Amino acid sequence: MVEFAEIDESNFYDVIALEVKEEQSRFVAPNVKSIAECYLYRNDNDVFPYAIQDDEKIVGFILIDLDEEAREFMIWRMMIDKKYQHSGYGRATVEKAIEMAQKEDKYDTFIADYVKGNDIMGEMLESMDFINHSFDDENNEYVMHYKLN
């Protein structure tokens, strides 16, 4: 259903034009900020931004952070455009990322977090067998873990 496409000249403007609903804007950073942070932290982290596509249609954005030393695969940020929400793309995106992590066989833990108040994301992760691991006071986020092995 969904595929992850590298962000390049052909899709960059489509990705930064994606928007969540106004009431969701406090739950996720703008995509242009996430892409800029990838550049900013390029020497310190293994972070990878992708457009989320269904065929040729860009429906969202995901930012993946890899920590091979800690054996952790993390969704740092994820958003589905307001036009495509409630269509199964969020779940399909997390499933695709889990599949990606399992193929690598370098990771034991899959991490996804969500800002307090984003109950839809929390409920979706719980329904996918993610376990509430901790609460990050600094970022006001619940940190959820999923065991890969």
Give per-residue pLDDT as tens, 7-62. 999 999 999 999 999 999 999 999 999 999 888 877 766 899 999 999 999 999 99
pLDDT mean over 107-123: 95
What is the model's pLDDT at position 72?
A: 95
pLDDT in tens, 93-108: 999 999 999 998 899 9
Q: Are 102 and 54 in contact (CB under 8 A)?
A: no
Query: What's the rounded Cα separation, in Å, for the pair 78 and 29?
Result: 9
φ and ψ at 144, to 5 degrees? -110, 140
Q: Are 108 and 149 in contact (CB under 8 A)?
A: yes
Q: What is the CATH number of the domain that holds 83?
A: 3.40.630.30
Residues spanned by the domain of 125: 3-147
Q: Are 51 and 7 in contact (CB under 8 A)?
A: yes
Domain count along the chain: 1
Amino acid at residue number 53: Q
